[in-house]
Amino acid sequence: MRDIDLSFNKVHVIESLAPPDMLTGTKLYDDVMRSACAVHDSLEAELHTVRSPFDFLDVLARIQHATTNEGERPLIHVETHGNKHGLGLADGQGVLPWRKLKRKLTDINVASELNLLIVMSACEGAYLVREMKPTDRAVAWGILGPLKTISAGALRDGFSAFYAELFSSLDVNRAIQCLLAESGGAPINHGLMNAHDIFRRIFESYHRDAFTEDAMRAREQEVVRGVRMLNSDLDEVPDTTLASQFRDLLMATRDEFFAQYAERFFMSDLYPKNRDRFLLEELTVGD
């Protein structure tokens, strides 16, 4: 797939780490971002040090407000730990659930017209994507992060190369290539899930679960029961006939619903330019 343009004008580093962790977010901000911002009047960076889920969500609420009301186009870099339940924060008092994080990030992404890039310092992106449903809007333009556990030093080197190029050229695609080339000398250390990748993963999961034979039979039985309750004129029509008609209708309208889901996910109903920007005419159920 071709490179897709991304508009941004501010980098937010949200760090929630506790000893003995290296404060990699602070180091990135101090060593790379502060000096780079002096070169570009139109580009800003801000470091947010948070300790609790409340603090983290408060930062996201302020970013959403700036995006909605002040024309900000954010890139959000998250420096913390995570697991299948959510983000672990410095106060050690539980986690910020992926479900809550997804809602806030999606609100920011909608306000940014699908221009939000999320950079994560741990192997967390897949957990965030698993919270998404086919009817959701995109949580981000892309999620960038490690594909496996790597050292703090390798993270620092990789992200330093990424932001040095990003603040120099303002080209996200070139910055990603620098990250992939630099991090530990092994390009497989990091990966980008762009909006197309996220959409495909959601639908692969949906079809894997919803279109198995057992799942289809359960849906047919539910529909037949509903039809019987609402329309007594069909009492003489066999259950097998009604079930077959439902299955045929479901398969016949699959492409239509896929297109509707894609329109909502890529926000072309809100921002028509996204139809061409994300090549929606080329998307098919098999993608």
| Residues of the chain above pLDDT 70, percent | 93
Average pLDDT over residues 203-220: 79
For 31-57, write each residue's pLDDT tens digit. 989 888 877 778 899 999 999 999 999
Pairwise CA distance, residues 254 & 258, whole Å: 6
Average pLDDT over residues 170-192: 72
Tell whether 4 is covered by a domain. no
CB 247 within 8 A of CB 220: yes
pLDDT for 285 beyond 80: no
pLDDT for 283 beyond 90: no
Write phi, then psi, for 95 (nearest 5 degrees). Answer: -130, 165
Pairwise CA distance, residues 47 & 10, whole Å: 11
Q: Is the peptide bond before 19 cis (omega within 30 degrees of 0)?
A: no
How many domains does one find in the chain?
2
Tokens 């290296």 -> residue: 22
Tell whether 2 is covered by a domain. no
Same-domain pairing of 184 and 214? no
Same-domain pairing of 29 and 129? yes
Same-domain pairing of 140 and 223? no
Least Cα distance to 139 among 185, 180, 91, 107 occurs for 107
8-state DSSP, 137: P
Tell whether 252 is covered by a domain. yes
Please report which confidence band the pLDDT of residue 1 belongs to, taking 50, 70 and 90 as the band edges: very low
Q: Which domain holds residue 116?
A: 10-194
What integer pLDDT is reported at residue 258 of this predicted model?
84
CB 67 within 8 A of CB 73: yes
Give the residue with greater pLDDT, 2 vs 101: 101
Q: What is the CATH number of the domain that holds 77?
A: 3.40.50.1460
Pairwise CA distance, residues 78 & 188, whole Å: 20
Q: What is the DSSP string of 155-210?
A: HHHHHHHHHHHHHHH--HHHHHHHHHHHGGG-GGGEEEEEHHHHHHHHHHHHHHHH
Tell whether 111 is covered by a domain. yes
Strand partners, 81: 88
pLDDT for 130 beyond 50: yes
Which of 170, 194, 218 terminates a domain? The answer is 194
Give the chain's mean pLDDT.
85
Pairwise CA distance, residues 52 & 56, whole Å: 6
Same-domain pairing of 187 and 67? yes
Pairwise CA distance, residues 260 & 137, whole Å: 11
CB 31 within 8 A of CB 140: no
Same-domain pairing of 178 and 205? no
Which of 194, 222, 257 terminates a domain? The answer is 194
| Max mean pLDDT range (2-16, 46-60, 212-226) | 46-60
Please report which confidence band the pLDDT of residue 3 belongs to, taking 50, 70 and 90 as the band edges: low
Tell whether 3 is covered by a domain. no
For 252-267, write each residue's pLDDT tens digit. 767 778 888 999 999 9
Give me the half-sphere count of Cα atoms (radius 13 Å) on the Cβ side of residue 12: 25
